Structures are given as structure tokens and as C-alpha cells.
Amino acid sequence: MLMAAAVPASAHVVSADADLQLAQTIAGSELTVVIRRTPAVPGPLYVDLVAYQPVREQTVGIAVNDSAGTVQLRRDRPGTYPLVLHVRDVGPHELRLTAASEVSVLPFTVRVPRPAPWEMVVYGGFGAAGVMLAAAMVAGARSRRGTALSLGGVGVIAMVVAATVAVVSPQLVTEVRDTGRPNAQAFLTVSPARPAAGEEFTVRFDLADGSTGQPVDDLAVHHAALVHLVITSQDGEFFQHLHPLRTDSGRVEARLTADRAGRYLAHAEFERTDAGGQLVSGAFEVSGPARQVPERAASWTFPAGRPVTIEVHTGTTGLQSWLEMAGHLIVRDQDGTYLGHGHEQMSSTSDGTVATHGPGLRFTVSFPRPGRYFAWVQYVRDFQITTAPHLIEVTS
């Protein structure tokens, strides 16, 4: 009974990570790669590809080390495509995602729960105590007083050690955090350098450590992606939220097609391991005939410089989690120097199922200065990403 009460609960055990989700925009498809928690190593590695509409008919290759497989995406069959790979070791791995001529290499770490050293002491101590005390009782019953006393004594010592370690164990779990990393410097390249409207082109960010100048290779997964890339036209009429492929150390790329000529802005949001989030940006020009910008009325009017809550009615329930959220709000000012991001979180009911979301989404954001802002609300239902554009008037 004492053992059952005193042995620390499994809450202290460094458990297997939760599912790892990585959004990727590859060969014209918006996917989320889900690496499921691994129960044992060596053992199966369960990978799900979640495809969002419109799904392109294509083969997607997934490989981890020498274990590889393919998934055949079916046109207009959005949803989950499962695949089972094999993993041999714990530690850092790379998942290689291929589709058409595009490749992305995604680092991840396999962690399988293993007892910590202090747990060995606790379990070992209680185990030894049990054996010694039992032996002492047997010796006592046979009237070997000296032997019984010394066995009992060792048993008591073992129990004291185990109980002490069990009590102080929370302080033994230390976490070393390396904070205060320098910013990443971002260099934007667009190829061709001046793309034409209606033609596919590549947007690339090369990220270099601000101190060493080396490629930044410690991007952390945040909001289910290594990098969130927002491409907007200066006039606010074009918007794409992409998840660029990691094509090299410190390099991410996305392919897209612009629908109008003019100036465009690329904003990339990412986080380095054990460092804060960062937003970097660049601008480029798209050639082609000019298009008229329709006159739009503001959806909302807010004061500048204080938090405001925006309520959006999607007109639908059953919203799905996308990038770990029920809804996303991306806000940009007119010249593109400000880009904001708000979320509606997914909530769970007490029985662990995800609560039904929609039709309303609420976002709390603030606008630094008066002026006109473009806003895009994004949510997912039936694996269809909906983007609703809005105009916001911000007063002083």
C-alpha cells in the first residue's frame, strides 16, 4: 500500500510527444502532415496526410530514413490519408515529403517515454525495501534476531532513500533553456525576379542567424507549421496563406500564381527553438495588365491602440481545427508595414471531444494606428479552407 501511495504517478514521466502537425503547401495542394506519437522504438511510425480542398490528383511520397511510402491523393477526396512507416531509433529524424518536382525536408524528434534516473532509484528503493523487510520477517520467524535486524535496517534505509527521492523528484526534473537568440535575418528572392500575373513563380526566404550568419536551422513548429507565409497584393485584393517547403538548411520556398499586376508583400512568421516569434517581410513586383480595385465598404470600425473583439459569423457549425485553431484572422495595414494575427482557439468538452465550433468566431486584436486595414478570416469545414476578406476602418 505504501508503495502504491508513494511511487510518483506517471505524470512525472517524460511522455511521448503529442501528435506533431506540419502544414505544407506542396505542388498546389494544401496539406497537413501529422506524425502520430510513437508507442515503441523500433516500431511503426504512423503518418497521416490531411488534404484540403481542392485536392489535386497526385502521388505524394513520404520517407523517414530508409522507410518510404506513397499516398495517392484523389481529386475531390479531401480528408485523411494514412500511411505506416518504420522508425528504428529515438532522437532527431527527417521526414522527406515529395510531390511532382517539389521536395520538403522536415526535421522532427522521436521521443519514447523512458524512466528517468530518479524513477529507477524510487522503484529500486521500494523494491529493495520490500525484499529486505520480507527477508527480515522470515529471519525473525526463524528466530535469527541479528539477521532480521540487519535486513530490516537495510530495508528501512532503502525505503527512506526511495521516499526522499520520490518527494524531491519534482526538483530533479530540470529544464535547460537557452534563451536570447539573435534574430534571424531574412532575404527574399522571387524567381523569376519579376513574375507575370497568371504565371507560377517561387517565393523564397533564406534565413540567416543575425550573429553567426549561418543558415537558421532551428525553426520550431508553431501553429502547426515551421513557417507561415502570407502573400498579399498592395491593394489588398490578393491574399494567400501558405506553408512553404523547407528545401534546404535555413531555406523555405513556396510556389504560387498571382492574379494581378502590381506590388506584392511577403510576410513570413516563424519561431526559433527557445526564442521568440519573428515576423519578416519583403516586397516584389508582378507584371501584367492592371486590374480595377472595386470600392468596398468597411465591415467594422474600431478605435486605434486598444484591444477590440471582432465577431465573425461564418453561417455554419462544425468548423474543423486547422493549424490547431478554429479560426484565423490576419490583418494588414494599407502600406503593408503592419501584419497582425488573431486566433479563435479550439475548445474541448469535458469528455475530451472537440466542441462544435461555429457559427460565430471571436478574435481579440488591436490596431496600432488609425487608417484602413485589410482583414482575412480563415476557417475550415469539410476540409475546405474558406477565406473571407474584410475592410476595417480604424479611427484615432
Per the CB < 8 A criterion, the answer to whether 359 and 313 are in contact is yes
Closest residue to bound Cu ion by CB = 228
Please give the full DSSP string across 210-226, using - where no structure is assigned.
Answer: TTT--B---EEPBTTBS
Q: Tell the smallest beta-carbon distance from residue 21 to Cu ion (Å).
A: 11
* Nearer CB in complex with Cu ion: 25/98: 25
CA distance 145 to 22: 66
| Interface stretch with Cu ion, choices 84-92, 121-129, 221-229, 380-388 (CB under 5 A) | 221-229
Residue whose CB is less far from Cu ion, 228 or 332: 228
When asked if residue 267 is in the footprint of Cu ion (CB under 5 A), the reply is no
Q: Is the dihedral of CA 241, 246, 248, 249 positive or negative?
A: positive
Beta bridge partners of 93: 108
Q: With binding defined as CB under 5 A, does residue 343 bind Cu ion?
A: no
Cα 327 from Cα 363, distance rounded (Å):
8
CA dist 241 and 365 (Å) reads 19
Least distance (Å) between residue 228 CB and Cu ion = 3
Nearer to Cu ion, 34 or 135 (CB): 34
Q: Nearer to Cu ion by C-beta: 228 or 390?
A: 228
228 interacts with Cu ion by CB under 5 A? yes
User: At closest approach, how far in Å is the CB of 54 from Cu ion?
Assistant: 18
Query: Which stretch in 57-65, 222-230, 254-262, 338-346 sits in contact with Cu ion by CB under 5 A?
Result: 222-230
* Apex 344 CA angle, 314 and 225, nearest 5: 110
C-beta closer to Cu ion: residue 24 or 233 = 24
Site residue total, Cu ion (CB under 5 A): 1
**Residue 5: CA count within 13 A, CB half-sphere:** 3
From edge to edge, which strands make up the β-sheet containing 251-257? 184-191, 200-209, 251-257, 245-248
Could you tell me the smallest distance in angstroms from the CB atom of residue 323 to Cu ion? 5
- C-beta of residue 99 within 8 angstroms of C-beta of residue 29: yes
User: For the chain, how long is the longest CA-to-CA vector?
Assistant: 104
Residue 330 Cβ, how far from Cu ion at the closest point, in Å?
Answer: 9
Q: How far is the CB of 380 from Cu ion (least distance, A)?
A: 12
Task: State the binding string over 366-385 for Cu ion (x if CB under 5 A, else -).
Answer: --------------------
Binding to Cu ion by CB under 5 A, coded x per residue (else -) over 161-200, reads ----------------------------------------
Spatial separation of the C-alpha atoms in residues 304 and 314, rounded to whole Å: 25
Of the pair 218, 324, the CB lying nearest Cu ion is at 324
**Nearer to Cu ion (CB atom), residue 285 or residue 324:** 324
Q: Give the residue among 90, 85, 94 at the shortest CA–CA distance from 40.
A: 90
Tell me the three cell numbers of residue 288: 501584367
Q: Quote the CA–CA distance of 169 and 316 in Å, as a whole number.
A: 49
DSSP H or E stretch at residue 130: helix 117-141
Shortest distance (Å) from residue 241 CB to Cu ion: 5
Closer of 228 and 246 to Cu ion (Cβ): 228
Closest CB to Cu ion among residues 228, 255: 228
State the DSSP code for 382: T
How far apart, in whole angstroms, are the C-alpha atoms of residue 257 and residue 259? 7
Phi, psi of 133 (to 5 degrees): -65, -40
Report the amino acid identity of residue 325.
Answer: M
Question: Judged by CB, which is closer to Cu ion: 356, or 384?
Answer: 384
- Only segment of 91-99, 139-147, 223-231, 342-350 that touches Cu ion (CB under 5 A): 223-231
Using the rule CB under 5 A, give the single segment among 70-78, 151-159, 171-179, 220-228 that binds Cu ion: 220-228
Piece in contact with Cu ion (CB under 5 A), picked from 40-48, 68-76, 171-179, 228-236: 228-236
> Footprint of Cu ion on this chain (CB under 5 A)?
228
